[in-house]
Chain A
C-alpha cells in the first residue's frame, strides 16, 4: 500500500474510534471549560493531540483508556484564559443540570451543590474526581496522573470529605 493510502486508512480508523468514544472528550471539556466556545476549542486541541499521538498508540491499551490520558493531559497543560467571574456561567452545560423529575428535592440540591463544588476545584483535583466518577480504579488514576496509588487514595478521600462538608454543613 502506498504511504498516502496507509495514512488515509489510519485517519479513517482514528476518526471512527474518536467518533465512537467522543463522550470522554466532551466530559473533560465540560469539566474544564466554562462556555461553549472554550469547550469547542479544548475539544479541537484534544483531537489534534490525540491524532498526533495516534501513530504511537498501536493498540497497547484500550483506545478509551489511552484517550483519558491524552484528553486530561491536554486540559491540564493547555493555556486557558481565566475568567474573572467565577460564579456566572454563560453556558448552561448539560452535564450540570439535574433532572428535576427524577430526584427528590434534597437529593437534587445535594447533587447541584457537589457539581458546583467540583467546578471550583483545581485542575488536578478535578482530574482525580473525573476519573473517580468514570469508575476508574486507583491504580489507573495513579498511573494517569503519575502519582502513587496510596497518595491518589489519600487525596481522593480528602476531596470526598470536602465535598461531604459542603453538602452537610
Chain B
C-alpha cells in the first residue's frame, strides 16, 4: 500500500498550477506598503511608554514641586530617586534598542520569537520599575505632607488629642496601600489587554516550539 502521506505530498505538489498569481506590478506596489507586524506595534507602544513615564517624571518635578519637596524634608531623597530613575531610563532605552536590533526574520523561528519576546520583556520591566518608583514617591510624599505640611500637622495633632494617633496612621497606611493596589491592578489589566491581544499567539507558538525540543 502506498503511504498516505506520500499520496498527500504528490497531490500537494500537483496543486501548484492552481495557485493565484500576482503580476510584477502588483508585487512591486506591495514593497512600498507599510508593515503591520507585531514587532512594529511593540516598537510603537514601547516608545509611547517611554515617553509617558518620562513625561510623568518631568511633570512632577518642576520648581514649585521642588519647594514643596524641600519643605517636606524630602529633598535629598528626591534627588537620589530622580537621578536613579534617569540612569535607569537610559539603561532601559539602550537595552530596548539593542534587543530590537536583534530581531531578524531570517533567523530560525525560535530565535525570532525569542528576540520579540525579549523586547517586550524589557519594556515590561521598565514599566514595573516605574510603578515601583511611583508607589514609593506617593507613599513618601503623603507621609511628608502629613508630618510637615500645615494641614497635615493639624490633622495629626487632632488625631493625637483624640487619643487615637496609632489608629490614624493605620488608616492612612491602609488607604495608601489600597490605592496602590487598585492602581497597579488597573495598569496590569491594561497591559494584559494591550499585549495579550498582540502576543497571545506568539507566546503559544513559542511554547509549542520549546516543547518539541524538551
Contacts and interface: CB of A to CB of B under 8 A. Distances in A.
B18 A146 contact: no
Contact of B37 (A78, A111, A122): A78
Given A70-B106, A74-B37, A110 B197 contact: no
B9 interface: yes
B127 interface: no
Contacts of A11: 28, 31
Interface string B13-54: 101101111111001101101111111010000000000000
Interface string B187-208: 0000000000111011011001
A145 B108 contact: yes
Interface stretch (B88-96, B110-118, B134-142, B143-151): B110-118
Interface string A99-138: 0000000010011001100000011110100001111000
Contacts, number: 163
A82 B5 CA distance: 28
Contacts of B24: 15-16, 19
B209 A124 contact: yes
A26 B18 CA distance: 11
Nearest to B111: A146
Contacts of B12: 95, 133-134
Contacts of B62: none
A30 B205 CA distance: 19
B8 A111 contact: yes
A150 B42 CA distance: 34
A134 B11 CA distance: 11
A98 B109 contact: no
Given A19-B27, A80-B201, A146 B209 contact: yes
Contacts of A124: 109, 205, 208-209, 212
Give the dominant DSSP class at B's interface.
helix
A138 to B, nearest CB: 13
Contact of A73 (B19, B105, B198): B105
Interface residues of B, number: 51
A38 interface: no
Given A14-B31, A23-B16, A110 B7 contact: yes
B33 A48 contact: yes
Interface centre among A47, A69, A82, A134 (most CB of B within 10 A): A47
B104 interface: yes
Interface of A: 11, 14-16, 18-19, 22-23, 26-27, 30, 41, 43-45, 47-49, 51-53, 56-57, 66, 69-70, 72-74, 76-80, 82, 94-95, 97-98, 107, 110-111, 114-115, 122-125, 127, 132-135, 143-148, 151-152, 154-155, 160, 163-164, 167
21 contacts: A15-B27, A22-B21, A27-B19, A30-B19, A45-B35, A48-B31, A53-B104, A73-B106, A73-B107, A73-B109, A76-B109, A79-B199, A95-B18, A110-B4, A123-B205, A133-B13, A135-B9, A135-B13, A145-B209, A146-B107, A163-B8
